[in-house]
C-alpha cells in the first residue's frame, strides 16, 4: 500500500503590487519617408513611377510606385506589404497579394 503524507499549507508571502504600464497608442497614419536611407530596390517591383493595379472584391486598387515607397489613396507607405495590409485588414505579403512574387 502506498504511504500518503499531508502537505503543509503554503506560507503566506508578501505580495507585490501589480505594475501598470501605459503605452502610447499606435497611430494609423504612416510617417513621412523623407531623410530615410535609400535601400537597394527589390527586382520584383516595377520601376518608380509605375502603377500597380489589382481588382479586389470588385474594386480596382491602384498603387503608385515611388522612389522610396508606395502611394495609395493619397498616403505614402514604405512597403508594398503595408499597402496590402491596409487593404485586407490583416497581415499579408504585399508581393503575394499584388502577384509580384516569382
Classify residue 36: in a domain, yes or no.
no
Does residue 62 lie within any of the structural domains? Answer: yes
Number of domains in the chain: 1
Structural domain includes residue 70: yes
Residue 69: inside a domain: yes
Range of the domain at 68: 51-97
Q: Is residue 58 part of a domain?
A: yes
Report yes or no on 19 lying in a domain. no
Q: Is the pTM of this model over 0.85?
A: no
83 in a domain, yes or no? yes
Q: What is the 3 state secondary structure string of the chain?
A: CCCCCCCCCCCCCCCCCCCCCCCCCCCCCCCCCCCCCCCCCCCCCCCCCCEEEEEECCEEEEEEEECCEEEECCEEECCHHHHHHHHHCCCCCHHHHCCCCC
Ordered per-residue pLDDT tens for the chain, 102 residues = 666 666 665 566 665 555 555 555 655 555 555 666 666 777 888 888 889 999 999 999 999 999 888 999 999 999 999 999 999 999 999 999 999 876
The answer to whether residue 92 sits within a structural domain is yes
Amino acid at each position: 500500500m502506498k504511504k500518503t503524507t499531508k502537505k503543509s499549507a503554503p506560507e503566506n508571502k508578501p505580495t507585490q503590487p501589480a505594475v501598470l504600464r501605459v503605452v502610447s497608442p499606435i497611430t494609423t497614419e504612416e510617417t513621412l519617408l523623407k531623410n530615410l536611407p535609400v535601400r537597394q530596390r527589390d527586382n520584383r517591383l516595377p520601376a518608380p513611377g509605375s502603377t500597380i493595379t489589382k481588382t479586389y472584391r470588385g474594386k480596382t486598387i491602384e498603387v503608385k510606385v515611388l522612389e522610396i515607397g508606395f502611394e495609395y489613396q493619397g498616403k505614402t507607405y514604405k512597403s508594398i506589404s503595408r499597402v496590402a495590409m491596409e487593404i485586407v485588414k490583416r497581415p499579408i505579403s504585399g508581393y503575394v497579394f499584388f502577384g509580384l512574387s516569382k
